[in-house]
């Protein structure tokens, strides 16, 4: 059965996609303003969200619908563990916990997995296709903004089991179109994808306060250093 689901998802989530890109945290990130403390909290939340999503996808890997879009090479849990080790150290598991927005996101994934697992397609599409499409750009931004060495703290963006990302995305979209679903289910998957974008926006919005504080502190420190230098120059006659 051909449902044109890939096109429906692309067209049906355009507005939500634009809204997500205009959240303050994301706009700052895309402009190269990335604060490490906020970023590592996002990585922590992603770890819990992806863990839940991948557990449920694995549980339904023989499902007549989900089996068609089950690709273990997309899994991000292990790569996120590597990043958490980098940002928090060896005892990272004792330091991280899902935020309220992440808890709600996880609960939604668990709920639909138990009641209407076909809707997990929406969550897989929303996260993985976004990761594949913009991952390299975001990785480069994170490396520059946080002065990361190559390969440090950005494992999340590395899909080592996918040598050709463009080809894989085409294969994934074809699989979406070939899912054995009717138009009603296709529409519900699009609705769920929009809901998933909303849940991601809430993850980003939670971090905005931390980012604003961090930027404010950086500006304060910069001004303090300038004033200190100015006072020193006046005192020594070097102005």
Least confident of 90-94, 107-111, 164-168, 219-223: 219-223
Domain membership of residue 236 (yes or no) is no
Over residues 10-30, mean pLDDT:
93
Q: pLDDT digits over 48-74, tens only? A: 999 999 999 999 999 999 999 999 999
Domain membership of residue 237 (yes or no) is no
Question: So what's the pLDDT on residue 224?
Answer: 57
Domain membership of residue 30 (yes or no) is yes
pLDDT band at 239 (very low <50, low <70, confident <90, very high): very low
Question: So what's the pLDDT on residue 220?
Answer: 47
Domain membership of residue 177 (yes or no) is yes
CB 172 within 8 A of CB 69: yes
Domain membership of residue 166 (yes or no) is yes
Least confident of 145-149, 175-179, 191-195: 145-149
The maximal CA–CA distance of the chain, rounded, in angstroms, is 82
- Tally the domains of the chain: 1
Q: d(Cα 157, Cα 135) in Å, to the nearest integer?
A: 5
**Average pLDDT along the chain:** 90
Domain membership of residue 234 (yes or no) is no
Q: d(Cα 66, Cα 134) in Å, to the nearest integer?
A: 24
Domain with 115 in it: 5-227
Question: So what's the pLDDT on residue 45?
Answer: 98
Q: d(Cα 104, Cα 107) in Å, to the nearest integer?
A: 5
- Kindly tell me if the per-residue pLDDT of 164 is higher than 90: yes
Q: Which residue has the tokens 């809901």?
A: 195
234 vs 177, more confident: 177
216 vs 236, more confident: 236
CATH number, domain of 218, equals 1.20.910.10
Question: So what's the pLDDT on residue 225?
Answer: 59
CB 92 within 8 A of CB 181: no
- Kindly tell me if the per-residue pLDDT of 223 is higher than 70: no
Domain membership of residue 238 (yes or no) is no
Domain membership of residue 235 (yes or no) is no
pLDDT band at 144 (very low <50, low <70, confident <90, very high): very high
User: Quick one: what percent of the chain has pLDDT higher than 90?
Assistant: 79
**3-state secondary structure string, 162-229?**
CCCHHHHHHHHHHHHHCCCCCHHHHHHHHHHHHHHHHHHHHHHHHHHHHHHHHHHHHHHHHHHHHHHH
């Amino acid at each position: 059965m051909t449902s044109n689901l890939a096109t429906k998802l692309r067209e049906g989530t355009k507005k939500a996609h634009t809204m997500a890109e205009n959240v303050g945290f994301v706009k700052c990130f895309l402009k190269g303003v990335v604060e490490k403390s906020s970023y590592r909290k996002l990585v922590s939340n992603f770890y819990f969200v992806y863990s839940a999503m991948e557990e449920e996808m694995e549980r339904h890997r023989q499902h007549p619908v989900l089996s068609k879009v089950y690709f273990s090479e997309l899994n991000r849990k292990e790569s996120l563990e590597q990043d958490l080790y980098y940002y928090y150290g060896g005892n990272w598991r004792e330091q991280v916990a899902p935020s309220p927005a992440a808890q709600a996101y996880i609960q939604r994934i668990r709920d639909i997995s138990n009641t209407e697992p076909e809707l997990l397609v929406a969550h897989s599409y929303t996260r993985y296709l976004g990761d594949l499409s913009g991952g390299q750009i975001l990785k480069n931004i994170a490396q520059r903004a946080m002065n990361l060495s190559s390969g440090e703290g950005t494992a999340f963006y590395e899909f080592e089991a996918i040598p050709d990302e463009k080809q894989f995305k085409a294969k994934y979209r074809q699989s979406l179109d070939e899912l054995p679903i009717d138009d009603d289910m296709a529409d519900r998957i699009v609705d769920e994808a929009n809901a998933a974008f909303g849940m991601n926006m809430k993850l980003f919005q939670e971090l905005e306060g931390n980012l604003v504080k961090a930027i404010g502190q950086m500006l304060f420190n910069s001004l303090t250093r300038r004033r200190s230098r100015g006072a020193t120059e006046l005192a020594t006659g070097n102005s």
